[in-house]
């Protein structure tokens, strides 16, 4: 059944989808390294769509090109679905389900206005559905994030203020300040992180709208990191660790003991 479905799809279109995912990965990776921003997926998506659109408009015989370098059409029907599935898994891992649905919705809607698909109305309808579902999930996630936005940002601010105070004292008495500084800052960071982990766990457990399965889903390591990022503890896991003066091992230990649902 799957083979029949794949063989109904033109190999050129499969190649375009695979190229889109490859271009998206490469552009997103490059921009994230250069700009170090979380929302580089938007320009990456736009650039990938434009590149693939240009290839399609140029009317390249992609199947013939790959056949010329040793990839038969039957082999393409084996390799391309694997690339596409791997690309979708990457999108979900990197961007989350909501953004992935939005991207798939946009691509489906754009495809519906081209000659890439036969049943244009159905493809546009599916695209609109995916886009709406992605927006709803994203809005819901943001709303729940705001509800869980912690008062623990005060704890982080306390650590930052204490760090500034310690640095000021260090400049006045540099001989014995370094050892005391690091130990005290680590202890304060551990205390602040422990309080944040407890609040994170409590906010999920006390949310009556979530089922036990959803509580398990939202009580993961990735969501705890997002919880701290929303509270402005740092832009990523590494920055949070540096600001709290703790190790990755400390971070994981505190989460497993106090924050894991």
Would you write out the chain's pLDDT as a tens digit for each of its 261 residues? 444 444 455 667 778 888 888 888 888 888 877 775 556 778 888 888 888 888 877 877 777 777 777 777 677 777 777 887 888 887 788 778 888 888 888 888 887 777 666 677 887 888 889 889 989 988 887 776 555 544 445 555 555 555 555 555 444 555 455 555 778 888 888 899 999 999 988 888 888 787 887 888 888 888 888 888 888 888 888 888 888 888 888 888 898 888 887
Contact between 91 and 117 (Cβ < 8 Å): no
> Tokens 């202890």 label which residue?
187
DSSP states along 137-161? HHHHHHHHHHHT--TTHHHHHHHHH
> Tokens 């979530």 label which residue?
210
Judged by DSSP in three states, 209 sits in coil
Classify residue 13 by burial, with Cβ atoms within 10 Å: 0-12, 13-18, 19+. Answer: middle
Please choose, from the candidates 10, 39, 29, the residue with its C-alpha nearest in 3D space to the C-alpha of residue 235.
Answer: 39
Contact between 197 and 258 (Cβ < 8 Å): yes
pTM metric for this prediction = 0.46
**What's phi and psi for 209, nearest 5 deg?**
-75, -15
Other residues' Cβ atoms within 10 Å of the Cβ of residue 30 = 12
| Sign of the dihedral defined by the CA atoms of residues 145, 150, 154, 159, in that order | negative
Q: How far is CA 144 from CA 3, 96, 210, in A?
A: 41, 15, 11
> Tokens 């679905």 label which residue?
81
Judged by DSSP in three states, 135 sits in helix
- 256/261 Cα distance (integer angstroms): 9
Q: What is the CA radius of gyration of the chain?
A: 24
């Amino acid at each position: 059944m799957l083979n029949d479905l794949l063989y109904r799809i033109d190999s050129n279109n499969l190649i375009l989808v695979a190229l889109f995912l490859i271009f998206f990965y490469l552009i997103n990776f490059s921009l994230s390294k250069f700009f170090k921003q979380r929302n580089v997926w938007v320009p990456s998506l736009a650039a990938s769509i434009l590149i693939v659109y240009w290839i399609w408009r140029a009317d390249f015989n992609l199947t013939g090109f790959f056949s010329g370098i040793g990839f038969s059409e039957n082999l393409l029907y084996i390799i391309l679905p694997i690339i596409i599935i791997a690309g979708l898994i990457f999108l979900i891992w990197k961007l989350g389900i909501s953004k992935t649905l939005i991207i798939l919705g946009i691509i489906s809607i754009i495809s519906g206005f081209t000659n890439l698909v036969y049943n244009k109305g159905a493809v546009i309808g599916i695209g609109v559905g995916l886009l709406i579902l992605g927006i709803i999930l994203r809005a819901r996630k943001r709303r729940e994030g705001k509800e869980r936005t912690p008062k623990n940002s005060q704890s982080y601010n306390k650590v930052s203020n204490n760090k500034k105070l310690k640095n000021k004292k260090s400049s006045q008495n540099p001989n014995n300040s370094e050892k005391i500084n690091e130990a005290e800052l680590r202890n304060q960071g551990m205390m602040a992180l422990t309080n944040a982990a407890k609040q994170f766990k409590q906010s999920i457990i006390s949310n009556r709208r979530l089922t036990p399965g959803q509580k398990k889903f939202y009580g993961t390591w990735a969501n705890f990191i997002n919880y701290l990022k929303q509270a402005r503890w740092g832009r990523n896991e590494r920055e949070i660790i540096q600001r709290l003066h703790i190790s990755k091992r400390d971070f994981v230990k505190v989460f497993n003991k106090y924050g894991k649902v």
